[in-house]
């Protein structure tokens, strides 16, 4: 399926989620929506729209929703963190936004929360004990680098001014009447990327 978007419409995506900009009243992914396996569901309640979003890492993001009356509602996703009353004070839309702003200024940007875990001793007869450990949350992106405006530049993205030229040397096959190849030149392809780097030669 081809959707006539530019890359500016995509705000966030991971394995099973996509957040994108669209015109109100349009639904470019309508054919992909549903409750079946592999289909997309809309997590934004009816009458609400996403007003602001902050994404810190894969599967770690928060967004602010607004309705027609100007009321605000927040949603937070943080894989690996249990969001309860205690952690919600440290992991919420506002703290995540502040961490990202500090991160973009190259300042220290992290927070720690308590995580309760169950541990068994080294001996099989040892019981299970509950321990509290610190778990750290910080901006991490292994799919690209953050630009100064907070947008992500994926690794491998070419500059728009980059041109790609293919240089082919075609094969020439000449067959004799007996079916044997008398002349055979191999195909060689050169791909040049001007303005960035050469991929292969």
Say whether pLDDT at 10 is over 60: yes
What tokens were used for 11? 């705000």
| Region 23-46 average pLDDT | 82
117 near 131, Cβ under 8 Å?
yes
First-residue to last-residue Cα distance in the chain: 33
Say whether pLDDT at 71 is over 90: yes
178 near 189, Cβ under 8 Å?
no
Q: Which residue bears the tokens 């006539």?
A: 4
Say whether pLDDT at 55 is over 50: yes
- Domain-wise residue ranges, the chain: 7-155+180-190
Instruction: Provide the pLDDT for residue 192.
Output: 47
**DSSP per-residue letters across 57-70:** ETTEEEEEEEETT-
Instruction: Provide the pLDDT for residue 156.
Output: 75
> Mean pLDDT across the chain, nearest whole number?
76
Strands (E), the chain: 10-13, 18-20, 48-57, 60-67, 72-78, 111-120, 128-137, 144-146, 152-154, 163-169, 172-175, 181-185, 188-194
Instruction: Provide the pLDDT for residue 196.
Output: 40
Look at the alpha carbons of 171, 174, 178, 181 in this order and tell me if their dihedral is positive or negative.
negative
Say whether pLDDT at 53 is over 80: yes
Tens digit of pLDDT for each residue in 84-120?
888 888 999 999 999 999 988 888 888 988 887 888 7
Instruction: Provide the pLDDT for residue 123.
Output: 75
Name the more confident of 159 and 132.
132
Enumerate the H helices of 24-125 as residue ranges: 85-88, 93-104
């Amino acid at each position: 399926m081809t959707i006539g978007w530019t890359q500016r419409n995509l705000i966030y995506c991971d394995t099973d989620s996509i957040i994108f900009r669209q015109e109100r009243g349009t639904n470019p992914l309508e054919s992909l929506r549903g409750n079946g396996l592999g289909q997309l569901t809309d997590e934004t309640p009816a009458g609400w729209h996403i007003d602001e979003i902050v994404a810190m890492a894969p599967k770690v993001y928060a967004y602010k929703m607004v309705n027609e009356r100007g009321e605000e509602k927040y949603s937070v996703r943080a894989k690996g963190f249990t969001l309860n009353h205690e952690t919600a004070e440290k992991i919420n839309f506002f703290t995540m936004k502040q961490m990202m702003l500090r991160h973009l200024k190259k300042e220290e940007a992290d927070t720690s929360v308590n995580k309760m875990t169950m541990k068994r001793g080294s001996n099989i007869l040892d019981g299970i004990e509950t321990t509290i450990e610190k778990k750290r949350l910080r901006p991490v992106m292994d799919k690209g680098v953050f630009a100064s405006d907070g947008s992500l530049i994926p690794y491998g993205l070419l500059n728009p001014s980059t041109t790609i030229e293919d240089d082919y040397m075609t094969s020439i096959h000449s067959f004799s009447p007996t079916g044997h190849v008398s002349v055979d030149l191999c195909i060689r392809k050169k791909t040049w990327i001007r303005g960035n780097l050469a991929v292969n030669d």
